[in-house]
Amino acid sequence: MTRILVVDDSALVRRVLGEILREGDFEVEFARDGVEAMERLHAFKPDVVTLDVEMPGMDGLEVLDRIMVERPCPVVMVSSLTSEGAETTLTALELGAVDFVPKPGGVLSLSADELAPRLIDTVALAAKARVRSSLRLVERLRARRTTGAAGARKRTSVTRSTSSASGAPSGLVVIGTSTGGPAALDVVLSDLPETFPWPVLVAQHMPASFTGSLAARLDGLCALSVVEVTAPTLIETGVVYVARGDADMIVSRRSEGLVVLPAPSSAKHRWHPSVDRLMVSAMDHLAADRLAGVLMTGMGNDGAGAMAALRAAGGRTIAESEASAVVWGMPGELVRADGADFVEDLDDIAGRLIQMLMR
């Protein structure tokens, strides 16, 4: 039986989460604060920890950091701050949390029915997730960037020799990811140089309240400019475009050139922002050899069908390896569909893109 450690300073929250998880056939134990959480971590040896952020004494982020050092295991953040404070949630994901479940507002006991299926599904998936041994991602990334040029050389518009005569980009990279994706995007995008020749479009499964903060954090780490797409936007070289959450993002063509724009989520697709829909829309406007697809960590199969079709049409694709993916669902489906030109560990994906497009 899967063992779950519930860490929360609220007795009501502990009771409700415990009832939900026991109904999901999990073995559950509890901790009231960070100190008790670390004690139970070593004694109970949980398969998954659900962790509140705001606790007296040692807060959730401190506990998470210690878990990732002392006994790494999948952690799901459960806190009001994960719905209201996207910055805190993204920090948790960077530090190694697998996923998050927003704590419902109002009277918690009246919201348990809404919370239950998502919590059970998320914890069950987390129990199967791979926790990478490369810990303290925030510090590692900051150290890698101290000698770099990310920060002082942002620009709003760039035309390069790799663009067409009209100044339009000569190709596009589409990246799709889900569970474990924010930390993976940190690694890949921060390794792309300012001179990277193609714009990058990102579909990360995430709520709308989080993608703006995700784009802002990535912008601070990357040599390329990173923006959230909230309105029709001209696609330019030197920019990473992040799809707004809870919707889809598509490529279109207007008089001024290729644009990317938000679109209401399509009922034909299960996950949003949809990687499949983004990739298909890009293929509608550019030849396959002008496109590259990257599918990284995440549950399900979003993006696998469209990227396999891209490869069959002459485009190039990369799947993250099983060895490095937190959840080898999406990239695994691409590999099984014979849709991946390359299967790369996370740390090698940016290098492969550079090799493909900057020769």
Whole-angstrom distance, CA of residue 220 vs CA of residue 43: 40
Pairing label, strands 257-263, 248-254: antiparallel
The predicted model scores a pTM of 0.87
Owner of token pair 């309105």: 231
Classified by CATH at the fold level, domain 3-128 comes out as Rossmann fold (3.40.50)
Q: Do domains 3-128 and 158-357 have the same CATH topology?
A: yes
Q: Coil, helix or strand for 352?
A: helix
Please report the pLDDT score of residue 109 as a whole number. Answer: 58
User: Is 157 among the residues known to form the active site?
Assistant: no
- Name the residue ranges covered by the structural domains of the chain: 3-128, 158-357
Whole-angstrom distance, CA of residue 296 vs CA of residue 303: 10
Question: Which is catalytic among the residues 205, 213, 276, 321?
Answer: 205
pLDDT per position as a tens digit, 85-124: 678 888 888 888 999 887 766 556 557 788 899 899 999 9
Is 139's pLDDT higher than 70? no
User: Is 285 among the residues known to form the active site?
Assistant: no
Question: Which is catalytic among the residues 79, 163, 178, 190?
Answer: 178
Whole-angstrom distance, CA of residue 323 vs CA of residue 320: 8
**CB of 317 closer than 8 Å to CB of 311:** yes
Tokens representing residue 326 in the block: 């937190």
Alpha carbon 92 to its chain centroid, in Å, reads 12
158-357, superfamily in CATH? Methylesterase CheB, C-terminal domain (3.40.50.180)
Determine if residue 211 is left, alpha or beta; phi over 0 gives left, psi from -120 to 50 gives alpha, anything else beta: alpha
Whole-angstrom distance, CA of residue 359 vs CA of residue 346: 21
User: Is 178 among the residues known to form the active site?
Assistant: yes
Amino acid at site 185: L
Residue-wise DSSP of 62-119: HHHHHHHHHS---EEEEETHHHH-HHHHHHHHHHT--EEEEPPSS-GGGGHHHHHHHH
Whole-angstrom distance, CA of residue 218 vs CA of residue 173: 17
Amino acid at site 86: A
Helix (H) / strand (E) element for 200: namely strand 200-204
Is 18's pLDDT higher than 50? yes
**Peptide linkage before 232 cis (omega within 30 of 0):** no
pLDDT per position as a tens digit, 332-344: 999 999 999 999 9
- What number of CA atoms fall less than 13 Å from residue 81's CA on the CB side? 16
Please report the pLDDT score of residue 166 as a whole number. Answer: 41
Confidence of residue 280 (pLDDT cuts 50, 70, 90): very high
Whole-angstrom distance, CA of residue 168 vs CA of residue 91: 35
Confidence of residue 82 (pLDDT cuts 50, 70, 90): low
Tokens representing residue 250 in the block: 């598509």
Q: Which of 208, 211, 68 is nearest to 60 (CA)?
A: 68
**CB of 113 closer than 8 Å to CB of 88:** no
Helix (H) / strand (E) element for 221: namely helix 208-221
